[in-house]
Amino acid sequence: MTRAMFVVLVVEDDAAIRSVLRTLLESQQYRVVEADTAARGVIEARGHRPDLVLVDLGLPDRDGLSVIGEIRKTSPVPILVLSARTMESDKVAALDVGADDYVTKPFSTPELLARVRAALRRNARGSERLPLIKLGALTVDLTNRSATGPEGSVHLTPLEYRVLDCLARNGGMIVTQAQLIREAWGPDRLGDARGLRSYVKMLRQKLEPVPSQPRYLLTEAGVGYRLLADEAPDGT
Ligand code: CA
């Protein structure tokens, strides 16, 4: 799929920001559809079937959260929140109603474009499992549950694989602590944020070149984690 085929819906009431986003996205050959209210956003999402939706939370008619909830009722399209709200609780609320990721304003252009690419990649793959992830010199095979680095194989526990698997399936997007705990531990087993933190710490010891300065398994303070694997050589 070439980028020219991707349609990005921008739901944002600030005309100046919409214009910046349009210029930026069009420079990457994405097609842009704009909506300046929540109501318009929901209509355009149905009409244009975008490949990605960027949503501001502070909209004049209704809160952006309701746009996310409305779109989620009928569509699995990736939704990226672009908001000036920086509270952890705002981020968690947006992810809980179905957003895939969150970028705070003012945003950096490279960061926003990286999140857009990650969201579109995740969508192109759908729910297909990623067989292999590359983290620098390390290759993790999630299907066969093996990990190999320059010094040979690296042992990961089943729970560590489940944590990685959940992060990898979300391809670079934030995964909330609650979602990771639910998916890695399972509904009947007890997991908590503290347990998760210690597993993340152990995973970093095994996967990161410098565990104290993670490059791949990143923390979103108070919200959750994301896994930024290296891009596959074919650019998919
Ligand atoms: Ca706004």
Distances (CA, A) of 224 to 31, 88, 127, 140: 31, 10, 20, 21
- pLDDT of the residue at 215: 95
206 CA from centroid of ligand 1 (Å) = 42
Does domain 132-227 match CATH 1.10.10.10? Answer: yes
Could you tell me the pLDDT band of residue 4, with boundaries at 50, 70 and 90?
Answer: low
Asked whether residue 185 carries a pLDDT value surpassing 90, the answer given is no
- Average confidence (pLDDT) over 213-224: 94
Residue 15 has pLDDT above 90, yes or no: yes
The single-letter code of the amino acid at 26 is E
Question: To the nearest whole number, what is the mean pLDDT of the chain?
Answer: 89
| Fold equal for 3-125 and 132-227 | no
Measure 203 CA to ligand 1 centroid, in angstroms.
38
pLDDT in tens, 71-94: 999 998 999 999 999 899 999 999
Distance 75 CA to ligand 1 centre (A): 23
Domains of the chain, residue spans: 3-125, 132-227
| 3 state SS of 184 | helix
Q: Who has greater pLDDT, 27 or 170?
A: 27
Average pLDDT over residues 104-109: 92
> What pLDDT is stored for residue 116 in this prediction?
94
Residue among 10, 11, 226 nearest 118 (CA): 226
- Contact of 35 with 7, CB cutoff 8 Å: no
Per-residue model confidence (pLDDT) at position 31? 95
- Averaged pLDDT, 169-193: 84
Distance 65 CA to ligand 1 centre (A): 12
Assess whether pLDDT exceeds 80 at residue 197.
yes
Q: How far is the CA of 58 from the centre of ligand 1 (A)?
A: 4
Predicted confidence at residue 205, as pLDDT, reads 95
Q: How far is the CA of 172 from the centre of ligand 1 (A)?
A: 25
Q: How much of the chain exceeds pLDDT 90, in percent?
A: 69
Alpha carbon of 27 to ligand 1 centroid (Å): 23
Ligand 1: centre distance to CA 111 (Å) = 20
Bridge-based pairing of strands 79-83 and 52-55 is parallel
Task: Read off the pLDDT of residues 37-57 as tens digits, 9 standing for 90 and up.
Answer: 999 999 999 999 999 999 999
Q: How far is the CA of 155 from the centre of ligand 1 (A)?
A: 47
Identify the CATH class of 3-125: alpha beta
Cis peptide before 106 (omega within 30 of 0): yes
Sort 94 into a burial class: Cβ within 10 Å, 0-12 / 13-18 / 19+: buried
Alpha carbon of 59 to ligand 1 centroid (Å): 5
pLDDT > 80? residue 206? yes
Per-residue pLDDT at 233 exceeds 50: no
Asked if 134 and 168 touch (Cβ cutoff 8 Å), the reply is: no
pTM (2 decimals)? 0.79
Do 150 and 141 contact (CB within 8 A), yes or no? no
